[in-house]
């Protein structure tokens, strides 16, 4: 649209509320049932974030400690100097179900069952901003994020009235739980902020803290990322520490445990789920032995437009091997040992050796002893030596 000769005055009067309500209604039509407006003041949980960074709890996610990134998180105005308000939005995804009963089956966090939200939500945010421009008859400076920019999304969402930050660190909506994506639109519209969500409805409940297999949830409502199953199976680009491997269970991408046990999810109202986020066949509970056969082409085909592609094949099959090692399915041991001869990625060979030894030490021992001295990758040889050492 052509630039209007002068901006509409939304600072005072009923026009402010009308535009805000129209924005929320339009957001609802675009798949965001929860929407709230907040200011560009520093986020309320900034001190907690800074203390978390100072303690090194971000593990290998060094970008979180970047000085410029931290400056923008501390001052949302620096994200878009022209902005006057932030529209905080939430789009639901399918809640996680019970584990599959079939043996040697993996688990994928439910947010990754369908299309990658990075390929869905930004386009909706653009549509929303375009429609408000059409309504106003002038251009609106905007910047859109969905887990893609240097802002404290949950903190801003709480201040916009969408819910509270639970002990498991997820934002929890009082009627709909925590299975939703967050998104933000920075706008140069002076909209009246909504009331923050001030109540904490976690109370004395500790289900998420006690259910976490790796004890990564801290008392200050932060995570020790290095111990988090989601971090290890997605963000960690190195071999997973041996001490944590048995506690990963059969999770091959992400983890939903702290959300599954939360009473606010168990008794949440049902909300419509975007078709894009509905489960694809074979993704929520993959058959682990079948996944071992995925070559690069097969992986790319199966997880095209899926969040799982983030791990790349090497990370995903590393996770599959560890899940097999935890499955107690001894028949998988020969298949894992076969990878020591056929798999070009040393990253995967080390995990396969660990899993085979865990399932059937008798069969695996001689092959691992051989590989510990002959594998061409020194990191694999070291990984195998750690496995043999106990």
Catalytically active residues, by annotation: 147
Measured at the CA of 59, the angle between CA 322 and CA 343, to 5 degrees, comes to 30
Among 37, 171, 178, 185, which Cα is nearest to 124's?
185
Q: What per-residue string of b and e applies to 19-37 under the rule 16 or more CB within 10 Å gives b?
A: bbeebbebbeebbbbbbbb
Instruction: Please give the full DSSP string across 222-243, using - where no structure is assigned.
Output: -B-GGG-HHIIIII--SPPPTT
Instruction: Please give the full DSSP string across 49-70, using - where no structure is assigned.
Output: HHHHHHTTTTTT-GGGG-HHHH
What SS3 class is residue 126? helix
- Report d(CA 64, CA 132) in Å as an integer: 32
- Report d(CA 226, CA 233) in Å as an integer: 11
- Report d(CA 168, CA 140) in Å as an integer: 36
| N residues, the chain | 390
Where are the extended beta strands (E) located within 39-154?
Answer: 85-92, 107-108, 142-145
For residues 148 and 240, the answer to whether their CB atoms sit within 8 Å is no
Ordered alpha helix ranges (H), 283-345 = 288-291, 296-302, 312-327, 333-342
- Report d(CA 375, CA 368) in Å as an integer: 10
Residue 207's Cα: distance from chain center in Å? 20
Strand-strand pairing, 164-165 and 34-38: unpaired
């Amino acid at each position: 649209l052509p630039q209007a000769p002068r901006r509409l005055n939304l600072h005072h009067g009923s026009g402010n509320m009308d535009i805000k309500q129209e924005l929320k209604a339009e957001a609802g039509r675009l798949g965001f049932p929860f929407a709230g407006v907040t200011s560009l003041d520093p986020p309320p949980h900034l001190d907690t974030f800074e203390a978390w960074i100072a303690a090194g709890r971000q593990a290998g996610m060094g970008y979180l400690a970047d000085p410029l990134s931290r400056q923008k998180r501390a001052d949302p105005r620096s994200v878009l100097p022209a902005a006057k308000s932030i529209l905080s939005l939430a789009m639901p995804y399918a809640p996680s179900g019970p584990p599959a009963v079939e043996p040697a089956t993996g688990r994928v966090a439910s947010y990754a069952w369908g299309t990658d939200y990075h390929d869905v939500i930004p386009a909706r945010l653009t549509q929303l901003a375009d429609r408000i421009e059409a309504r106003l008859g002038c251009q609106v400076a905007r910047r859109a994020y969905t887990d893609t920019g240097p802002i404290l999304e949950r903190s801003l969402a709480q201040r916009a009235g969408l819910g509270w930050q639970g002990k498991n660190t997820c934002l929890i909506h009082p009627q709909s739980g925590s299975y939703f994506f967050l998104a933000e639109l920075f706008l140069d519209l002076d909209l009246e902020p909504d009331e923050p969500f001030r109540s904490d409805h976690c109370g004395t409940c500790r289900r998420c803290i006690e259910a976490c297999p790796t004890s990564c949830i801290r008392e200050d409502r932060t995570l020790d990322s290095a111990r988090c199953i989601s971090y290890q199976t997605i963000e960690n680009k190195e071999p997973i520490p041996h001490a944590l491997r048995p506690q990963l269970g059969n999770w091959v991408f992400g983890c939903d445990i702290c959300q599954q046990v939360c009473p606010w999810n168990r008794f949440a109202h049902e909300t419509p789920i975007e078709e894009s986020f509905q489960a694809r066949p074979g993704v929520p509970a993959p058959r682990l032995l079948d996944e071992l056969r995925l070559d690069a082409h097969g992986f790319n085909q199966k997880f095209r437009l899926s969040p799982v592609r983030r791990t790349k094949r090497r990370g995903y099959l590393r996770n599959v091997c560890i899940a097999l090692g935890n499955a107690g399915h001894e028949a998988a041991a020969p298949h894992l040992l076969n990878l020591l001869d056929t798999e070009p990625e040393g990253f995967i060979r080390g995990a396969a050796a660990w899993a085979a030894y865990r399932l059937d030490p008798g069969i695996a021992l001689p092959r691992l002893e051989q590989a510990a001295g002959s594998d061409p990758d020194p990191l694999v040889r070291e990984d195998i030596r750690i496995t043999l050492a106990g």
